[in-house]
Amino acid sequence: MRYLRRERRQGTPPRGRKLQSGLDSLVHCHSHIKTVSASEKRYIEIVQQHWETVYETKATDQVSWFRPHLETSLSLIERATGSNRAASIIDVGGGASTLVDDLLERGYRKLTVLDISHVALDLARKRQPDALAKAVSWLHADVTQPGLAIHAYDVWHDRAVFHFLTSPEDRLAYVRNVAGAVKPGGHVIVSTFGPKGPTKCSGLDVMRYDAAGLHEEFGPRFRLVESSREIHATPFGTTQQFLYCYCTLG
């Protein structure tokens, strides 16, 4: 993952390495850290392709999860960071959402947006003025794979990504990544579909959680500070129930 981040920040590949794109770079990056089996590679490829197609074929504001602003996320992030605009924040599965725009506007500069879709990252990056786009780390990666920097983030934010992890192994890998990447005492904000939320999103099966169920996935190292439910109005005039959990990491 570090290789990808450097490549995107500087716009040129490291010396002696060929610039790769899409899945090749994703797997190439991971292959430094662990062996990726053929079936795992194929699985990552299918997930990535799914999301690339979504972002290639649908307008950013015409997907069910779109909101002009992620108000609840913003308010929890501001609460977690107080007046510290130097806080390091990662938005996992940030996609093309406006959260990064709103955080930049509020003066945060240590931002990382991670997503499995190159297209989504490019959409979000191109919306920003050049100088601000360069200040953000755009990380093309699968959040269930290892490779995130250790104790790098004050705040971990995820809206509508964890609920796509339908296999216990993927959820365990995700939780291991949060526990490693967030600083001790750091903040973890995860939003999924609530108990009355949809059973599918973007054509994929999803999990639904209440606060106790979501907290159980993360375990006792994560201290639940607050949970809330939100009724999200989709661009199509329907509603979806979301759950927000805000934890600190022990």
Ligand X SMILES: C[S@@+](CC[C@H](N)C(=O)[O-])C[C@H]1O[C@@H](n2cnc3c(N)ncnc32)[C@H](O)[C@@H]1O
Q: Which residues bind ligand X (CB under 6 A)?
A: 47, 51, 65, 93-95, 97, 115-117, 120, 142-144, 159-161, 164, 201
In the complex with ligand X, which residue's Cβ is closer, 172 or 223?
172
In the complex with ligand X, which residue's Cβ is closer, 94 or 194?
94
CB of 119 to ligand X, least distance (A): 9
Amino acid at residue number 214: L
CA distance 105 to 113: 15
CB of 86 to ligand X, least distance (A): 23
CB of 7 to ligand X, least distance (A): 18
Pair of tokens at residue 23: 């899945």
CB of 233 to ligand X, least distance (A): 14
Alpha helices in the chain (DSSP H): 2-10, 22-31, 38-57, 71-81, 99-105, 118-126, 130-135, 168-181, 211-218
CA distance 134 to 125: 9
DSSP character string of 63-111: STT--SS-HHHHHHHHHHHTT-TT-EEEEET-TT-THHHHHHHTT--EE
- Spell out the residues 6+ positions from residue 11 whose beta carbon is closer than 8 angstroms to its own: none
In the complex with ligand X, which residue's Cβ is closer, 88 or 117?
117
In the complex with ligand X, which residue's Cβ is closer, 105 or 250?
105
CB of 83 to ligand X, least distance (A): 25
In the complex with ligand X, which residue's Cβ is closer, 157 or 215?
157
In the complex with ligand X, which residue's Cβ is closer, 152 or 223?
152
CB of 116 to ligand X, least distance (A): 4
In the complex with ligand X, which residue's Cβ is closer, 95 or 147?
95
Q: Strand 88-92 to strand 110-115: parallel, antiparallel, or no bridges (unpaired)?
A: parallel
CB of 176 to ligand X, least distance (A): 14
CA distance 239 to 41: 35
71 forms beta bridges with none
Asked if residues 60 and 100 have their Cβ atoms less than 8 Å apart, the reply is no
Minimal CB distance residue for ligand X = 95
